Amino acid sequence: MKKLTFALLLMTVFSSAALAQSSVIKINLFSPIVRTFNVAYEKVIKKDASFQTGFFYTGYQDSGNISYQGFGITPEYRKYVSDSDAPVGVYFAPFVRFQNFTLKNEFGDKGTLTTLGAGLVVGKQWIFKQKFSLDGFVGPSFSGGKVKTTSGNSFDVSGGLNGFGVRLGLTLGLAF
């Protein structure tokens, strides 16, 4: 009976340790530079794969004096190619991104921008002390969208919001 109890105790300890790192919630450290709050949740779905969904909200103004206020969602599939089990190591992640912004400029023109994009990032994630995550990633993206002017003149929106761009990030999070 003692051996059975001990074996069950060991299985519980080791299975909870394995499950302790099956999810990660994180924030992007670069996002505040552009007045954005970005949070992501990653869930391991296989030994070498995970699914992550990111959400952001922004109140950003670009150098052309156009203010963007809105949100975005970025689901991605992560394929880990390291010897370590997900969510640790090097990964490739195709992603899609939906964004919706209210636009305003210094002349009082108003509009909305809705985009849909996709891309591929390569990154590396570390888990420290089975609790803290650090995840760096970079890769190309392309977004296409439409500006609907609600008052005034049209907006000239290009770059990462509408066209080619680079997705770059460094996140800090908690693994559980």
Q: What is the pLDDT of residues 19-37, one digit of tens each?
A: 448 999 999 999 999 899 9
Q: Pick 82 or 159 by higher pLDDT.
A: 82
Q: What is the pLDDT of residues 47-86, one digit of tens each?
A: 999 999 999 999 988 877 889 999 999 999 999 999 999 9
Percent residues over pLDDT 70 in the chain: 86
Q: What is the pLDDT of residue 154?
A: 75
Long-range contacts of 87-91 (CB under 8 A, 24+ apart): 87/21, 87/22, 87/24, 87/42, 87/44, 87/50, 87/125, 87/127, 87/133, 87/175, 88/21, 88/125, 88/126, 88/127, 89/124, 89/125, 90/122, 90/123, 90/124, 91/50, 91/122, 91/123, 91/124, 91/125
Q: What is the pLDDT of residues 117-135, one digit of tens each?
A: 999 999 999 999 999 999 9
Structural domains in the chain?
22-175 (2.40.160.20)
Q: What is the pLDDT of residue 19?
A: 46
